[in-house]
Chain A
């Protein structure tokens, strides 16, 4: 079952074409790793899928619902506001720099959206939050504030915050880029754990070993294009593309 279909996505900022012609799919339970040099459009791609940016043309279908398609004039036409909001409920996003709410406790960071967006009760949202915190190894941090936590702990809270809304696809935008190698390991373990539970995920990452060992599919992007789209073995071991080989040789 397809959880995400992107067809011929194009996106420019001013005259700068950031996404040139991006098409790919993600199947249920798959982990897709997106790798590539800085400025290749990886983050912009995630931001377009999660509606933080709008595409210029192309088609995005999420969990069977069409978010945007292109009309006869080649212009992107989005679903109405309500539908767009409903579609974004299918997705969760984990940011590079966490973006936790600093004035809320860890627990409230995880319960606030459950209560105000999904309308869950205080008790049930706290129960869900505590279960997730336990899973993240942070059961004793429920009443701490984000500023009292290490970067790795903050990132685990932000994963818990995203999971609390039961997304069908979880997206990560360079989740370990703001962390030192030791803390990186703890986040990668969490993602690995989610992969083993068959959570559908899209992970933009610079951790090649991680991408190779956890992902079911790997996309290599460069300069707004998808250069390579295949299994980790196809991309990391068997690629004949010069650009791919040059990029991977640095790792």
Chain B
């Protein structure tokens, strides 16, 4: 098997990795914002100290951060069968992977958003209120853009971790890059697929770092 052959075979895996990566981000970034709202919710129930929405978000984040992502992927994939006796087909693999990654990363993003939102000076909210902006206008026009600038380095960290974490989807045999590399390596008794996979992840992350750096620079015009 030539190197070209190996790369062609890995190509399909690459595309699936990229699909998983972008799908996760597209869902987890906004979902994380919603979770951070829940985490900061001031809604009380019965007593003034009992905040049910906040508690639910805390439990959710705690579980997502406290258990292995690999386990979560398996639960999402096999859960419907074991819990409800539903038949699962291999076409469910991609959905299971995206769901598991999205809800896991949303938990991490939520905490990053929360840190950023809570770091905003009260004066920005007060100025916006005095000028008559609604709460939604204040958040989306004044607060969120500044929060994004503050949290970008932490988001970059998570995004880079995500690139590498996509390899965990191998546990449900989702044919992404790493799964393919393993298969070919076993079949051909060769190291080359692993080296190729390593290079792929590295280059992918290099691109991510460059892009994130650009975005960071584009917000450099203010302090």
Q: Contact at A97–B132, with CB atoms within 8 Å?
A: no
Provided the pairs A112-B141, A116-B141 are in contact, do residues A102 and B130 lie with their beta carbons within 8 angstroms? no
- Using CB atoms and an 8 Å cutoff, list the residues of chain A in contact with chain B: 50-52, 85, 88-89, 91-93, 95, 97, 99-103, 112-113, 116-118, 145-147, 161-162, 165
Chain A: CB-nearest residue to B123: A99
Q: Contact at B132–A117, with CB atoms within 8 Å?
A: yes
Q: Contact at B124–A85, with CB atoms within 8 Å?
A: no
The reply on B129 being an interface residue by CB < 8 A is yes
B124 cross-chain contacts in A, Cβ below 8 A: 99, 101
The complex places the Cα of A118 from the Cα of B145 at a distance, in Å, of 22
A89 cross-chain contacts in B, Cβ below 8 A: 132
The complex places the Cα of A102 from the Cα of B123 at a distance, in Å, of 12
Q: Contact at A102–B222, with CB atoms within 8 Å?
A: yes
The complex places the Cα of A128 from the Cα of B11 at a distance, in Å, of 58
Identify whether the interface residues of A are mostly helix, strand, loop, or mixed.
Answer: loop
Q: How many residues of B contact A (CB 8 A)?
A: 20
Count of CB-CB pairs between chains A and B under 8 Å: 56
B130 cross-chain contacts in A, Cβ below 8 A: 50, 52, 88, 91-93, 162
Q: Contact at A113–B222, with CB atoms within 8 Å?
A: no
Interchain Cβ contacts under 8 Å between A and B, 6 examples: A89-B132, A95-B126, A99-B123, A102-B223, A147-B223, A165-B132
Q: What's the least CB distance linking A101 to chain B, in Å?
A: 6
With most chain A CB atoms within 10 A of its CB, the pick from B133, B222, B223 is B222
Q: Contact at A161–B222, with CB atoms within 8 Å?
A: no
Interface residues of B in 98-132 (CB under 8 A from A): 121, 123-124, 126-127, 129-132
